[in-house]
Amino acid sequence: MGKIAFVFPGQGSQAVGMGKSLAEEHAAIKELLHQADERLGYSLTDIMFNGPEEKLTLTSNAQPALLAHSMAVLKRFEEEGIVPDFTAGHSLGEYSALAAAGAITYENAVWAVHERGNLMEAAVPAGEGAMAAVLGMDRAELEAAVAEVAANGHVVAAANFNCPGQIVISGAKEGVEQASALLKEKGAKRVIPLNVSGPFHSPLMEPAAEKLRTVLEKANIQSSRVPVIANVDAQPVTEAEAIKENLVKQLYSPVLWEDSVQALLDAGVDTFVEIGSGTVLSGLIKKVNRRVRTIAVSDEESIVKAAAALKEETQ
């Protein structure tokens, strides 16, 4: 039997209604989700269950909503006795991965990502930053082209290495526009502007990163029970100080998701369980390695089905 990794989605996977059916079916999960409301001082669950979508999509709501939903699904899934050998998460999802690995309490994680969302929204005035997905472009070629634009004084950087042929760039509006044009010229199949509220994982987030350090000090991060693969270097981490440093850097550094998946494959993981909203990560993982098994769990039905399949194999 190979190893299991629990992976957690990032911003963009949120959907109105997330967590609602689980909360209705399980008193303990309803209670867990309401702890987020208490910690934040407003009804996050109301926005999760009922929307409106515009409100749920705000970074400062989307981040705690995704984390709370992932933790609710995890709580229910763990009741089935499935435990991971590793955890990992995409950007915001790294906080869910750390909470799942015992490095941060659920309430502190909800609070920290809400604060993180506020800091990210405040870092760059609306309309000044941008992000774009670049499809069908070699990684080294993309990095060279982006560096060329950046050298001309326009802030732009690679923000997410999601899977082969899918890389996101981020930075000042002008920088992203110039890089997009250059990348198309150099053979990118498509460049798609993303509907985001800021230039995440770019050097423009550095002022927010220093403020995030203060938040993380208060969030009482501990060493983790199982290794968590960090976004910034795709290496396993368990030690509290290193976890904190990684999270500060993560705000302005690229998310090395493709490398993280590869690191897990190299460590013997053959089953990835995506915990929470959507199936974005399952799709990216398949593009890194088609043969690996991915399972997405988000509600009672998918949890029961996944647990039954996984238990059958361990018997």
pLDDT digits (tens, 9 = 90+) for 249-294: 999 999 999 999 999 999 999 999 999 999 999 999 999 999 999 9
User: What is the pLDDT, as a whole number, of residue 95?
Assistant: 98
**Distance between terminal CA atoms of the chain?**
10
User: Using one digit for the tens of pLDDT, what is the confidence trace for 222-253?
Assistant: 999 999 999 999 999 999 999 999 999 999 99
Q: Is residue 298 domain-shared with residue 155, that is, in the same domain?
A: no
User: Using one digit for the tens of pLDDT, what is the confidence trace for 111-153?
Assistant: 999 999 999 999 999 889 999 999 999 999 999 999 999 999 9
**Which residue in this structure is represented by tokens 């208060």?**
218
Q: Is residue 118 domain-shared with residue 134, that is, in the same domain?
A: no
Catalytic residue among 201, 202, 253, 277: 201
**pTM for the whole thing?**
0.97
The set of residues, in sequence order, having a beta carbon less than 8 Å from that of 129 and lying 6+ positions away, is 170, 171, 172, 173, 176, 198, 199, 202, 204
Catalytic residue among 91, 224, 277, 298: 91
Q: Is residue 301 domain-shared with residue 232, that is, in the same domain?
A: yes
Q: Is residue 93 domain-shared with residue 208, that is, in the same domain?
A: yes
Q: Is residue 62 domain-shared with residue 172, that is, in the same domain?
A: no
Q: What is the mean pLDDT of the chain?
A: 97
**Looking at the predicted structure, is the pLDDT value of residue 77 above 90?**
yes
User: What is the pLDDT, as a whole number, of residue 109?
Assistant: 98
Q: Residue 289 in 3-state DSSP?
A: coil
Segments forming the whole domain that contains residue 160: 129-196
Q: Are the C-beta atoms of residues 149 and 175 closer than 8 Å to each other?
A: yes
Round to whole Å and give the CA distance between 78 and 96: 14
Q: Is residue 301 domain-shared with residue 171, that is, in the same domain?
A: no
The set of residues, in sequence order, having a beta carbon less than 8 Å from that of 295 and lying 6+ positions away, is 271, 272, 273, 274, 282, 302, 306, 309, 310
Q: At 182, which CATH number?
A: 3.30.70.250
Compute the average pLDDT of residues 169-193: 98
Helix pair 106-123, 27-40: axis angle to 10 deg: 50
Q: At 270, which CATH number?
A: 3.40.366.10
User: What is the pLDDT, as a whole number, of residue 171?
Assistant: 98
Q: Is residue 74 domain-shared with residue 188, that is, in the same domain?
A: no
Which of 196, 228, 253 terminates a domain? The answer is 196
91: annotated active-site residue: yes
Residue type, 266: D
Q: For the chain, what is the domain count?
A: 2
User: What is the pLDDT, as a whole number, of residue 220?
Assistant: 98
Q: Is residue 233 domain-shared with residue 116, that is, in the same domain?
A: yes
Q: Are the C-beta atoms of residues 230 and 237 closer than 8 Å to each other?
A: yes
Q: Is residue 108 domain-shared with residue 233, that is, in the same domain?
A: yes
- The pLDDT confidence band at residue 315, using thresholds 50, 70 and 90, is low
**Looking at the predicted structure, is the pLDDT value of residue 313 above 90?**
no
Q: The sheet that has 293-297: what strands, in order across it? A: 236-237, 228-229, 86-89, 3-8, 269-275, 293-297
The set of residues, in sequence order, having a beta carbon less than 8 Å from that of 121 and lying 6+ positions away, is 58, 59, 60, 197, 198
Question: At CB < 8 A and 24+ separation, what contacts does 144-147 make?
Answer: 145/179, 145/182, 145/183, 145/186, 146/179, 146/183
User: What is the pLDDT, as a whole number, of residue 312?
Assistant: 86
Which of 168, 196, 224 terminates a domain? The answer is 196
Round to whole Å and give the CA distance between 315 and 178: 56
**Looking at the predicted structure, is the pLDDT value of residue 199 above 90?**
yes
Compute the average pLDDT of residues 45-52: 98
Q: Is residue 114 domain-shared with residue 55, that is, in the same domain?
A: yes
pLDDT over 90 percentage in the chain:
96
